[in-house]
Amino acid sequence: MLQSRHNLAITRRDLPLQALESRAMLSVAPWNDASGLMGQDQLADLFPTINGAGQVVAIIDTGIDYTNPRLGGGFGPGFKVIAGHDFVDNDSDPRDTNGHGTAVAGMVAADPYEVGGRRYQGIAPTAKLVALRINADTDSTPNARIAEALQWVIDRRSTLGITVVNISFGTGHFDSPPSNGAFASQLAELASAGVIVTAASGNGGISIGPGVDYPAADPNTIAVGSVDEFDSIAGFTERGKLLDILAPGRELATAWLGDTTRQSFGTSFSAPIVAGTAALLKQINPATNLAEVRSILQAGGEDNLDGDSETGPVTNRRFSRLDIPTSLRLAQRRLPANDPSEMPNAPNTRASSIQIDRHGVLHAAYYDAGDARLLYATRSPDGLWSQAINVDSSPIDAGRYVSLSLDSAGRPGIAYFDATNGDLKFARSVKGQFVLATLDARQSVGLYPSTQFDKQNRPAVAYYHKTKGDLRFAAFDGSNWRISDIDADAADRGRSATMAVNSIGRFGVAYEDSTTGKLKVARQTAVGWLIDTIDNDTAGVSFMSAAFDSTDKFQVSYYDATPADLKFAVERSFGGYRTVTIASRGAVGLYSQLLIDGDNNAQILYYSRRDDALFLAAGNVTNFVARRIEAGAGRFTSAATDARDGSIVYGHYRSGTQTFVIDSTFG
């Protein structure tokens, strides 16, 4: 029996779970503050038909007082609360006598009502509810009841159409997923079936360190914390690396017992806000799974830094705060294409850049040379591609040099070359839509762009100014783009630039000194750029790819053009760089893509023109082993690592079929 939130182990024996709400109920601010914060007030105008229709949300709590007219006024088929069970009295009447479960249900699906002249309603007011009563009050609840309720959902999810479950009870304090979570197998089964489970992170704060309650700590739930009406993280919110999303959790008006309402606060009521949002996402795409919902909620949310306006202990981590309209917009944009089993039709792709977010959603930006367009699409963890969208609808030749990066929430930023005007442009996902900016104009200023985000989620681009022959750097400061020179003098420097960012958010750029043909590197410091030569024994380099390993050592793969070799360089601990030739002579090493695995070994994909094949070289500077991946393929290669399992996904051109594909995985 686990008695304290301070314990860091959970057994499969009975575990008391406590309701995650504050005991005090305040009547201060109206609902519209929270509604405006998360964009609920915009839903009727922007998404008039997305209201939870066809979705059923199970509430595992103190039951639901279904007599409340805001929750349908009745129980059974034909009412809002369509079914349920009482695991306390072991009968089929789950009517709430406490109020907690009714309030939670109201946050999900209450019909519109007014209090003090202000409008209130659930996030998904047309959704149906299932009431599962696990306690008569908000005190400790035995594990057995939670387990019974989850199994009840598993057994009846298909019959009742249950798509979302909310649990606003929890215990413990975990900064890593528990290895023996009491409901792990049932939560995993629900996730596998596509049922989304939201859970309150807990109200114990972080005075004892970062962490969240269980079952919020389970990898198969969405852990939800609270913000106040000023968008500051509520001090009571338990949080850490396992927290998935923030939602309003103070000054919330919701349904209560009988024909009443009450102001409530706590993560208990933030979780059902996200449950209601999940129901909206499932309405848009019934096949949306847990990983995709997490990805959409985080990419669609607003950044909230724990420590900028918060008081008391903070984590200094950056979380996403729920933005419902943006999340719905992303869900619509990611709907599967008409033929979702293949990459969007791109037979003329001649440049591409791909990244995979932490939830397994692949993002691809690619140049269609046939139409001279820059396209963008996503691929779900299940392998289904979205419809491709045209990033820049201007009548220009855009994207023949392209670089894509994701910020910490999974929002894409794309740097690309406007060949018609000779400009460097940048497209960033803002509120679920691409916003375009011209960073540097005319005179061929945007060749070989390479983009990354810093630790504050601000994008930066390193690029070559062809007319001046300079390596330049454009950085967004939160309001404006600032342009500076990295390496600028009478020499020609900056071709084939490739940029990486280290663990503290500073950049490193590898590039060609075209005057001498040497490979150079510029490292960002607190006082400027430190420039060094990586390889003196070259007479022209290209097809470079850079990365930092986990110890922040800079590494780069590159094509040494004079002998036509693939080479690799890694920063030495005592300064300078060590280089090695991986493959020799015969135009090997084109389109190299460098990735670093969990053991700090390099994995380099490259094209051999001599063999007309794609190869992988894996190892370190003392020992590389190369193997052929695919014959008749490998030009225009792009690659990314899936952090979930370390596998590599790559895109490449197949000369036999004359198509560009991103459908290959190994690792």
Q: What is the pLDDT of residues 645-658, one digit of tens each?
A: 999 999 988 888 88
Backbone angles phi, psi at 131, to 5 degrees: -100, 120
Is residue 473 one of the residues assigned to a domain? no
**407 or 36, which is more confident?**
407
Is residue 361 one of the residues assigned to a domain? yes
The HSE-up count of residue 582 (CA atoms within 13 Å, CB side) is 35
Average pLDDT value for residue range 226-241:
97
271/138 same-domain check: yes
Which CATH number do you get for residue 59?
3.40.50.200
Least confident of 199-213, 279-293, 482-496: 482-496
Would the pLDDT of 232 be above 70?
A: yes
428/537 same-domain check: no
The domain boundary, picked from 391, 418, 446, lies at 446
Is residue 130 one of the residues assigned to a domain? yes
For 478-498, give the secondary structure using H, E and C.
CCCEEEEEEECCCCCEEEEEE
The domain boundary, picked from 332, 364, 399, lies at 332
Q: What is the pLDDT of residues 253-273, one digit of tens each?
A: 899 999 999 999 999 999 999
310/347 same-domain check: no
Is residue 18 one of the residues assigned to a domain? no
Q: Tell me, yes or no, if 85 is annotated catalytic.
A: no
Check: CB of residue 229 under 8 Å from CB of residue 163.
no
Is residue 666 one of the residues assigned to a domain? no
pLDDT at 18: 55
The sign of the CA dihedral 535, 536, 537, 543 is positive
**Distance of alpha carbon 347 from its chain centroid, rounded?**
29
Would the pLDDT of 28 be above 60?
A: no
pLDDT-derived band at 7 (thresholds 50, 70, 90) equals very low
523/618 same-domain check: yes
Would the pLDDT of 2 be above 70?
A: no
Least confident of 16-20, 235-239, 369-373: 16-20
pLDDT at 342: 64
Between CA 142 and CA 446 the distance in angstroms is 62
The domain boundary, picked from 412, 446, 480, lies at 446
Q: How many independent structural domains does the chain possess?
A: 3
Would the pLDDT of 292 be above 50?
A: yes
pLDDT at 26: 36
Least confident of 161-175, 418-432, 477-491, 653-667: 653-667
Would the pLDDT of 341 be above 70?
A: no
353/367 same-domain check: yes
pLDDT at 111: 96
Which CATH number do you get for residue 499?
2.120.10.10
Identify the active-site residue in 201, 226, 268, 638: 268
pLDDT at 117: 77
206/81 same-domain check: yes
Residue 290 CB burial class (10 angstroms; 0-12, 13-18, ≥19)? buried
Between CA 538 and CA 577 the distance in angstroms is 14
Between CA 242 and CA 223 the distance in angstroms is 7
Check: CB of residue 585 under 8 Å from CB of residue 563.
yes
Would the pLDDT of 68 be above 60?
A: yes
Would the pLDDT of 450 be above 60?
A: yes
Would the pLDDT of 146 be above 70?
A: yes
Which of the 8 DSSP states describes residue 271? H
Is residue 483 one of the residues assigned to a domain? no
Is residue 377 one of the residues assigned to a domain? yes
Q: What is the pLDDT of residues 419-443, one digit of tens each?
A: 999 999 999 999 999 999 999 998 8
Q: What is the pLDDT of residues 237-250, one digit of tens each?
A: 999 999 999 999 99
Identify the active-site residue in 85, 86, 100, 407: 100
307/348 same-domain check: no
pLDDT at 25: 36
Average pLDDT value for residue range 622-641:
93
Average pLDDT value for residue range 19-25:
46
66/138 same-domain check: yes
Identify the active-site residue in 61, 86, 368, 397: 61
Would the pLDDT of 562 be above 70?
A: yes
521/573 same-domain check: yes
Is residue 586 one of the residues assigned to a domain? yes
pLDDT at 20: 59
What percentage of the chain carries pLDDT values higher than 90? 84
413/503 same-domain check: no
Would the pLDDT of 489 be above 90?
A: no
Q: Tell me, yes or no, if 652 is annotated catalytic.
A: no
Q: What angle do CA 485, 489, 494 make, to 5 degrees?
A: 60
pLDDT at 361: 97
156/120 same-domain check: yes
Q: What is the pLDDT of residues 156-166, one digit of tens each?
A: 999 999 999 99
Q: Residue 273: which domain range?
A: 26-170+185-332
Q: Tell me, yes or no, if 6 is annotated catalytic.
A: no
Kindly list the strands in the beta sheet with 18-19, ordered across the sheet, starting from the edge strand earlier in the chain. 18-19, 169-174, 212-214
pLDDT-derived band at 525 (thresholds 50, 70, 90) equals very high
Average pLDDT value for residue range 169-188:
95
pLDDT at 439: 97
285/327 same-domain check: yes
pLDDT at 348: 83
